[in-house]
């Protein structure tokens, strides 16, 4: 079994690390203090993304993406995840279902999004529909040759900077006809309801949008009518793996900071790392990161190069998201404890990660929903996805 990175993968990982240290980390305090970036910083960061060829790392080269496989995308996101303020979201990664579009849709939406000329946001969640996506109340009805969409979407991440949405709606209110529509933000009837504040600092916002009788043509149906749940599931799988990657990267940053502090900080005449109560926290952080990272690499390797099927990947991605995000929560919490009072100051990366990593146990399916997916897999197909490795 070959468990080493290839030279090309190692170089990509090192490049992503440099990008994080040189482009993203220097923006952290500005983002924290101003709850976002100034227009000048945002423009410079965008240019840096293009200069480093880090735009659309998840899409095919023929669509203007970088043509990386899932393992390589994970290597990059892991490094970006070290940065706080969700600055990892600056390098745009157009939603993966856009690759299922027609040629015309790719020309209009995906390819400009890959180039950074457009930006998408994915709108599934509603006031009454969260974990249970079948409760979506956004309706699309036939109107002549097109569609009329009516509904309201919550927590639309990067909806403030997006100029089009992937809207998950039910045709005629029927969950069996779940369908994703491509909706330009400037279409009449698209309305910003409000922009709530959240626990974390995030470089972009998560607004609520209403779709008041929004008219679109047949050419705005992504895939087929009724294919919406499958497309949205593809998005979940990719995002869950990338949450795994970023939370592992964030955990490593917390360990780095806590280890450095514990080695330097002296109380009662010795470095606090000498006290087992502190040292054992560091040891637990390291061991838990090792477990999460091993699993992340294994599953992303399987996804990219192991030839596993879609169902198995869906099952494995839930385990990755669950374990990596829960590990990160514990790791960041210990990091705060080790830094003491400084750990509670927003100017410290561990404090920001501690606050910001909380959402990783909620979005893209809560920890409870990941456990449901895993249990479902166990009951349907047995434990193979989790215990039979190598395949």
Ligand X SMILES: Cc1cc2nc3c(=O)[nH]c(=O)nc-3n(C[C@H](O)[C@H](O)[C@H](O)COP(=O)(O)OP(=O)(O)OC[C@H]3O[C@@H](n4cnc5c(N)ncnc54)[C@H](O)[C@@H]3O)c2cc1C
Q: Nearest approach, Cβ of 200 to ligand X (angstroms)?
A: 7
Contact indicator for 146, 216 with CB cutoff of 8 Å: yes
Taking the C-alpha atoms of residue 273 and residue 296, their distance in angstroms, rounded to an integer, is 29
Q: How many CB atoms lie within 10 A of CB 185?
A: 16
Which of 47, 131, 195, 270 forms a contact with ligand X (CB under 6 A)? Answer: 131
Q: Is 85 in the site for ligand X (CB under 6 A)?
A: no
Q: Is 359 in the site for ligand X (CB under 6 A)?
A: yes
Q: Segment near ligand X (CB under 6 A), from 87-95, 122-130, 176-184, 215-223?
A: 122-130
Which of 124, 167, 243, 258 forms a contact with ligand X (CB under 6 A)? Answer: 124
Size of the residue set binding ligand X (CB under 6 A): 20
Q: Nearest approach, Cβ of 101 to ligand X (angstroms)?
A: 19
Q: Is 125 in the site for ligand X (CB under 6 A)?
A: yes
- Closest CB to ligand X among residues 124, 221: 124
Of the candidates 131, 132, 128, 111, the residue with the CA atom closest to the CA atom of residue 55: 111
**SS3 for 362?**
coil
Of the candidates 74, 24, 81, 31, the residue with the CA atom closest to the CA atom of residue 49: 24
Of the candidates 132, 379, 349, 86, the residue with the CA atom closest to the CA atom of residue 242: 86
Q: Segment near ligand X (CB under 6 A), from 106-114, 120-128, 171-179, 210-218?
A: 120-128
Contact indicator for 124, 232 with CB cutoff of 8 Å: yes
Q: Nearest approach, Cβ of 181 to ligand X (angstroms)?
A: 14
Which of 64, 85, 94, 365 forms a contact with ligand X (CB under 6 A)? Answer: 365
Q: Is 366 in the site for ligand X (CB under 6 A)?
A: yes
**Binding track over 48-77 against ligand X, x by CB under 6 A:** ------------------------------
- Closest CB to ligand X among residues 93, 334: 93
**Which residue has its beta carbon closest to ligand X?**
130
Taking the C-alpha atoms of residue 88 and residue 102, their distance in angstroms, rounded to an integer, is 29
**SS3 for 168?**
strand
By CB under 6 A, what part of segment 138-157 binds ligand X? 155-157
Which of 275, 363, 386, 389 forms a contact with ligand X (CB under 6 A)? Answer: 363
Q: Nearest approach, Cβ of 307 to ligand X (angstroms)?
A: 30
Q: Nearest approach, Cβ of 243 to ligand X (angstroms)?
A: 11
Q: Nearest approach, Cβ of 190 to ligand X (angstroms)?
A: 15
Q: Is 130 in the site for ligand X (CB under 6 A)?
A: yes
- Closest CB to ligand X among residues 157, 318: 157
Q: Nearest approach, Cβ of 260 to ligand X (angstroms)?
A: 30
| Structure tokens that stand for 347 in this block | 């100017």
Taking the C-alpha atoms of residue 20 and residue 255, their distance in angstroms, rounded to an integer, is 17
Phi then psi dihedrals of residue 181, to 5 deg: -110, 140
Q: Nearest approach, Cβ of 154 to ligand X (angstroms)?
A: 7
Tokens 């606050």: give the residue: 355
Q: Is 295 in the site for ligand X (CB under 6 A)?
A: no
Catalytic residues: 364
Helices assigned H by DSSP within the chain: 7-19, 28-34, 39-51, 70-80, 103-105, 111-115, 228-264, 276-301, 310-339, 349-356, 367-381, 384-387
| Structure tokens that stand for 275 in this block | 């006290």
Q: Is 240 in the site for ligand X (CB under 6 A)?
A: no
Q: Is 206 in the site for ligand X (CB under 6 A)?
A: yes
Q: Is 35 in the site for ligand X (CB under 6 A)?
A: no
Mention every residue, 6+ apart, whose C-beta is less than 8 A from residue 21.
Answer: none
Taking the C-alpha atoms of residue 122 and residue 384, their distance in angstroms, rounded to an integer, is 32
Phi then psi dihedrals of residue 52, to 5 deg: -90, 0
Taking the C-alpha atoms of residue 239 and residue 93, their distance in angstroms, rounded to an integer, is 10
Tokens 């909706």: give the residue: 183
**SS3 for 309?**
coil
**Binding track over 169-198 against ligand X, x by CB under 6 A:** -----------------------------x
- Closest CB to ligand X among residues 74, 136: 136
Instruction: Provide the binding-site residues for ligand X, judged by CB under 6 A.
Output: 122-125, 130-131, 155-157, 198, 206, 359, 362-366, 368-369, 372
């Amino acid at each position: 079994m070959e468990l080493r990175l290839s030279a090309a993968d190692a170089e990509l990982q090192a490049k992503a690390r440099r990008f994080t240290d040189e482009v993203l980390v220097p923006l952290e305090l500005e983002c924290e203090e101003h709850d976002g970036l100034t227009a000048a910083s945002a423009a410079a960061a965008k240019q840096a993304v293009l200069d480093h060829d880090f735009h659309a790392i998840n899409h095919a080269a023929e669509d203007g993406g970088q043509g990386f496989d899932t393992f390589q995308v994970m290597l990059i996101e892991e490094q970006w995840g070290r940065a706080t303020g969700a600055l990892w979201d600056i390098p745009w990664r157009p939603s993966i279902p856009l690759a299922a579009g027609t040629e015309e849709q790719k020309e209009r939406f995906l390819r400009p999004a890959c180039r950074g000329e457009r930006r998408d946001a994915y709108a599934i969640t509603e006031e009454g529909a969260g974990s249970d996506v079948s409760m979506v109340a956004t309706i699309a009805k036939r109107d002549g040759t097109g569609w009329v969409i009516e509904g309201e979407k919550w927590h639309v991440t990067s909806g403030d900077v997006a100029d089009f949405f992937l809207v998950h709606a039910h045709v005629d209110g029927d969950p069996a006809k779940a369908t994703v529509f491509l909706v330009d933000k400037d279409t009449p009837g698209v309305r910003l309801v409000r922009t709530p504040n959240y626990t974390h600092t995030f470089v972009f916002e998560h607004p609520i949008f209403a779709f008041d009788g929004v008219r679109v043509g047949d050419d705005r149906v992504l895939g087929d009518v009724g294919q919406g749940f499958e497309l949205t599931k593809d998005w979940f799988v990719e995002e869950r793996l990338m949450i795994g990657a970023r939370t592992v990267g964030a955990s490593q940053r917390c360990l780095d900071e806590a280890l450095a502090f514990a080695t330097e900080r002296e109380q009662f005449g010795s470095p606090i790392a000498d006290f087992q109560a502190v040292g054992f926290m560091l040891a637990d952080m390291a061991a838990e990161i090792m477990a999460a990272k091993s699993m992340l690499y294994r599953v992303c390797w399987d996804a990219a190069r192991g030839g596993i099927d879609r169902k198995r990947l869906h099952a494995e991605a839930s385990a990755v998201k669950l374990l990596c995000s829960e590990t990160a929560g514990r790791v960041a919490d210990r990091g705060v404890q080790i830094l003491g009072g400084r750990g509670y100051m927003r100017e410290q990366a561990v404090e920001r990660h501690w606050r910001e990593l909380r959402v990783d146990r909620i979005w893209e399916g809560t920890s409870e929903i990941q456990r449901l997916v895993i249990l479902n897999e166990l009951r349907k197909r047995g434990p193979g996805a989790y215990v039979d490795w190598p395949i």
